Amino acid sequence: MSREWDVENRGKEIIMRRLMAAFMAAAAFVSLAGAAQAQSNLVVVELYTSQGCSSCPPADALLHELAERDDVLPLALHVDYWDYIGWKDQFANPKFTKRQKAYAHAAGQHMIYTPQMIVGGQDHVVGNKPMHLARLIETHAAQPVAVQLSLRREGEAVVVSAPAVDGLGDVLVQLVRYIPEKTVEIGRGENAGRTITYSNVVTDWQVLGPWDGSSSLGMRAQAPGAGPVVIVLQKAGHKAILAAVRLR
> What are the respective helix, strand and coil percentages of the chain, to the nearest 5?
30, 35, 35
pLDDT score for 19: 35
Q: How far apart are CA 210 and CA 174, in angstroms?
A: 9
Using CA of residue 207, residue 245, residue 200, residue 143, what is the dihedral sign?
Answer: positive
pLDDT score of 34: 56
Ordered domains of the chain (ranges, CATH): 41-247 (2.60.40.10)
Amino acid at 28: A
Give residue 41's pLDDT: 61
pLDDT at 6: 44
What local confidence, expressed as pLDDT, does residue 221 receive? 96
Question: Residues 238, 121: contact at Cβ < 8 Å?
Answer: yes
**Predicted local confidence at residue 8, as pLDDT:** 43
**Res 42: pLDDT:** 85
Q: By C-alpha distance, which of 191, 178, 165 is closest to 88?
A: 191
pLDDT per residue as tens, the chain (248 positions): 433 334 344 444 443 444 334 333 333 333 344 576 655 468 999 999 999 999 999 999 999 999 999 999 999 999 999 999 889 999 999 999 999 999 999 999 999 999 999 999 999 999 889 999 999 999 999 998 889 999 999 999 999 999 999 999 999 999 999 999 999 999 999 999 999 999 999 999 999 999 999 999 999 999 999 899 999 999 999 999 999 999 98
Instruction: Please tell me the distance from the alpha carbon of residue 201 to that of residue 179, in angstroms, as a whole number.
Output: 5
